[in-house]
Amino acid sequence: MTPAILDLPAVSSYVALSESTVQKLVRESEFPKPRQLSDRRVGWLTKEVEAWIESRPIADLPPPENCSVGRGGQ
């Protein structure tokens, strides 16, 4: 089961960006804003993060050389 809410370390890992980059994108209104969960805790709705991911443009860049794409997954 996928969690409904992600904390900052989890959302950072989920979108493959650093925590500071996620925070910067939130400040620039380029990433979903977190929801207030308690007095001192916030989290991101997974469905909003997934919608953000789907909204990203398709890249023209090739995969980085250190990944296994195009080499048989090895």
Residue 8 near residue 22, CB atoms below 8 Å: yes
Q: What is the DSSP track for 11-51?
A: HHHHHT--HHHHHHHHHTTSSPPPEEEETTEEEEEHHHHHH
Show me where the domains of the chain are located.
5-55
pLDDT digit string, tens, across residues 30-61: 999 999 999 999 999 999 999 999 999 998 88
Question: Can you give the pLDDT at residue 55?
Answer: 97
% pLDDT > 70, the chain: 89
